Amino acid sequence: MHGDGVDALKDILFGSTAGIVSEIFEYPFDLAKVRLQSQLLTGDKQFNGPLDCLVKTWKHEGIVGLYRGLPVPLVGSMAETAAIFVAYSTFQNLIRKFTNTQGELSIPQLATASAGAGAVTSFILTPIELVKCKIQVQMMNTHTPPRIPPVGFVTSTTSLSPLDPPQSKFLLPPRNQPYEPLPGPFSIIKTVVQNNGVRGLWLGHVGTLLRETGGTASWFAMKEYVARLLVARRTPSSSTLEPFALLPWESAVAGSVSGAFCVAALYPADTVKSAMQTEEELRSHRVSTATAAREWTTTATHGSHSHTRPSFPAPPAIPRPTTPTFMATLSTIYRAHGIRGLYSGGGMTMARAVPSSGIVFVVYDGLVQYFS
């Protein structure tokens, strides 16, 4: 029992360290992914793709914008990675106990253990991701003000005439008019609980459960499969390492392949989850923007002259179900955007998952071997 406790502590420490290193590297890409996914339900396209999102965020928010809300996912990544590795080891031990298996488990057994680990971890991860996603899209409301821009309200390059229609673009206030402070994580949690009860913190849990169960199963199983292939290619005389003591490059390759496989398999579930978790954050902005567009048809006074503004229709709002269930949201996104919508930001996520997953396993395997 003492040995099990020490092993669990190691899993927590090593998993947390691996999660921190990985999260710092990948966070800007995750922020862009969530922003792309969140605009699927708004009918208001602010970004044309991952690179466009990163460039605009950097231009108008700087390095702070690229790492907006980092403390929440940093804590979340520590909790997630540690929980996954602890649960993974626990499920492996249970499988060995009930199947009387000695030594290495088969790939299907490892997939079962990792699926169980993912399912358990999803309950920890959903509230963390809910807060993270809401923080990541806050500036999308600021970028596209739901009101008619006053005189002197300019973009970074051109002035806007008061006669111009509402537009979905980044608008920067004058330097003497800073943005109002945005709600922090504790304020967001308080608001969610007040509006929806404690259960509201698990909005989008079905998506997280599917992603974590299937994704974690494919992540660990593929990593072990590739690792065993790499170890098997060695000749007995080519290395003095223990049979399954992976070299750093082997851990990196196995982890990178597993990361890509995991993203490809379960990405649509993550898209639906992110859209559900950010819709409420953006809903009031979408309604206000539509109202502003309708008001644009009225007569307005500019200086000493009166102008009749041309009619601009309100941005189309995508119909939404009263209760945002997982399947209803999935259907809504698919009808509006097709399969490409369900993989919105998928290419960039794949690109970041490859090195990120490699980093996780290099750090984790390295720590395990060093302290063994």
Task: Convert the pLDDT of each residue in 298-338 to its tens digit.
Answer: 444 444 444 444 444 444 444 554 557 899 999 999 999 99
Instruction: Supply the pLDDT for residue 70.
Output: 79
For the ranges 6-15, 51-60, 282-291, the maximum mean pLDDT occurs at 51-60
Asked whether the predicted pLDDT for residue 119 surpasses 70, the reply is yes
- Residues 168-191 have pLDDT tens digits of 444 444 434 445 567 888 899 999
Task: Report the DSSP beta bridge partners of residue 137.
Answer: none
CA 41 to CA 283: how far, in whole Å? 9
Instruction: Supply the pLDDT for residue 155.
Output: 38
- The mean of the pLDDT values for the chain is 76
Instruction: Supply the pLDDT for residue 61.
Output: 82
CA 288 to CA 318: how far, in whole Å? 15
Residue type, 109: Q
- pTM: predicted TM-score of the whole model, two decimal places: 0.68
HSE at residue 305, side-chain half, CA atoms within 13 A, is 5
| Residues 273/208, Cβ–Cβ less than 8 Å | yes
Task: Report the DSSP beta bridge partners of residue 172.
Answer: 154
pLDDT top residue among 328 and 80: 328
Lowest mean pLDDT among 59-63, 96-100, 194-198: 59-63
Q: What is the mean pLDDT of residues 134-149?
A: 59
Strands 305-308 and 299-302: antiparallel
Instruction: Supply the pLDDT for residue 308.
Output: 44
HSE at residue 309, side-chain half, CA atoms within 13 A, is 21
Q: Which SS3 state, helix, strand or coil, does residue 38 take? A: helix
Asked whether the predicted pLDDT for residue 122 surpasses 90, the reply is yes
DSSP annotation of 344 reads T
Instruction: Supply the pLDDT for residue 222.
Output: 94
Q: Which SS3 state, helix, strand or coil, does residue 240 take? A: coil
Instruction: Supply the pLDDT for residue 250.
Output: 92
- Residues 85-112 have pLDDT tens digits of 889 989 999 999 999 988 889 999 999 9
Asked whether the predicted pLDDT for residue 42 surpasses 80, the reply is no
In the chain the domains, ranked by start, together with CATH numbers, are 1-144+183-298+323-371 (1.50.40.10)
CA 127 to CA 317: how far, in whole Å? 27
Q: What is the mean pLDDT of residues 4-21?
A: 73
Q: pLDDT-based confidence at 24, cuts 50/70/90?
A: confident
Q: pLDDT-based confidence at 370, cuts 50/70/90?
A: confident
H or E element, residue 221: helix 205-232
DSSP state letters, 88-135: HHHHHHHHHHHHT--SSPPHHHHHHHHHHHHHHHHHHHHHHHHHHHHH
For the ranges 46-50, 206-210, 262-266, 276-280, the maximum mean pLDDT occurs at 206-210
Instruction: Supply the pLDDT for residue 141.
Output: 62
Instruction: Supply the pLDDT for residue 198.
Output: 93
- Residues 201-242 have pLDDT tens digits of 999 999 999 999 998 999 999 999 999 999 888 766 555 555
Q: What is the mean pLDDT of residues 115-132?
A: 91
Q: What is the mean pLDDT of residues 350-355?
A: 86
Q: What is the mean pLDDT of residues 15-36?
A: 81
CA 210 to CA 329: how far, in whole Å? 15
> 39, exposed or middle or buried, with CB in 10 Å at 0-12, 13-18, 19+?
buried
| Residues 241/168, Cβ–Cβ less than 8 Å | no
Instruction: Supply the pLDDT for residue 142.
Output: 52
pLDDT top residue among 158 and 115: 115
Instruction: Supply the pLDDT for residue 1.
Output: 42
Q: What is the mean pLDDT of residues 28-39?
A: 86
Q: Considering the chain, what percentage of its residues have pLDDT values greater than 70? A: 72
pLDDT top residue among 289 and 336: 336
Q: Considering the chain, what percentage of its residues have pLDDT values greater than 90? A: 27
Asked whether the predicted pLDDT for residue 33 surpasses 70, the reply is yes
